[in-house]
Amino acid sequence: MQISAGDLSVMLNGTVEGDTAVLVNTVAKIEEGKAGALSFLANTKYEEYVYTTLSSVVLVNRTFIPAKKINATLIRVDDAYVSFTFILEKFSNPLAISEGIESNVFIDPTALLGADVYLGFASYVSKNASIGDHSKIYPQVFIGQQAKIGKNCIIYPGVKIYHDCIIGDNCIIHAGAVIGSDGFGFAPLPDRSYKKIPQTGNVIVENNVEIGANTTIDRATMGSTIIRNGTKIDNLVQIAHNTDIGEHCILAGQVGIAGSTKLGKYSVLGGQVAISGHLVIAEGSQFGGQSGALASITEPNKKWFGSPAIELRNSLKMITVQRRLPELLSRIEALEKELLTIKKQ
């Protein structure tokens, strides 16, 4: 990548403050800037670096008001973070060059491949499976019988997509993820052993979904486990059978969602959040890290924290009180001693 500040500004519908002819050929964190680099400032916590960075060009929000002189050329845009993401996507995608079918690939004769599909070394495409146009399947990926992968997908090495599962268009699945393994279903018997319940459903991943490394999404007992449009899932997440994840949700690392739960659209789950089974969580719900939901939530667009989760404001009040408990205990003990002394007198 080598591009002038002026051309970048046109691409991003921005406004240049400084040298429109200055060139950038790489990207860098604002605190690690160097000549020829493009950086961005979106979080005010990093504002101090904009005055000292060696980066040649910095993307800033239109509303940014500098406190002192800035040496770098600025490009003002509506959203610096989104604009920087666009630049990374456009100029820093080495995977775009992957093409063709590598050696030791198995493709069943009944499988259907779209135009310009890439299949990496030792990948396996089973009977009646299909892969859409321009999708990239990296080495050692397994695609089960009758599984369907849409257009423009990226499936990273070692992903396993079981039989009958459906992946929509423009999806990204990172290394080691497993889509469609059996749901955790066992019927207790009189002798206290367990009989496995057949898991006859599938997993449906709709369009524009990203699934992190080593995440597992279980197939439904009957029907489908569904990940709806635009949802982004981090690494090491467990989604159980018959769960329905709404549109444009965010699930951070190590989230666990038990079976048959419905998560409303636009919900955000911090790291290690746990949602119990058979619950309905209202749209726009936000859970702080390590929270646990044990009951359904009916009011939309509220913030929750703690285990069991309660409204964020009340949870913060409880934490404040908990921090004072040692002090309060000392005061109570002192009062008890004082009261005992008075009684003796």
Token pair recorded at residue 73: 């050329």
Q: Are residues 123 and 75 in the same domain?
A: no
Are 9 and 104 found together in one domain?
no
Tell me the pLDDT tens digit for each residue of 115-169.
Answer: 999 999 999 999 999 999 999 999 999 999 999 999 999 999 999 999 999 999 9
The question of whether 134 is a catalytic residue gets the answer no
Q: Are residues 114 and 255 in the same domain?
A: yes
Task: Tell whether 147 and 27 lie within a shared domain.
Answer: no
Shared-domain flag, residues 234 and 176? yes
Alpha carbons within 13 A on the beta-carbon side of 185: 18
| Residues 302 and 197 placed together within one structural domain of the fold | yes
**Active-site choice (134, 163, 241, 278):** 241
Q: Say if residue 134 is in the same domain as residue 167.
A: yes
pLDDT for the residue numbered 162: 98
Residue 302 lies in a domain: yes
Residue 199 scores a pLDDT above 60: yes
Claim to verify: residue 210 and residue 146 sit in the same structural domain: yes
| CATH number, position 275 | 2.160.10.10
CATH code, 56: 3.40.1390.10
> 61, 92, 123 — which closes off a domain?
92
| Overall domain count for the chain | 2
Mean pLDDT over the full length of the chain:
94
Residue 77: domain span: 3-92
Is residue 218 one of the residues assigned to a domain?
A: yes
pLDDT in tens, 274-328: 999 999 999 999 999 999 999 999 999 999 999 999 888 888 888 888 888 898 8
pLDDT of residue 170 exceeding 80: yes
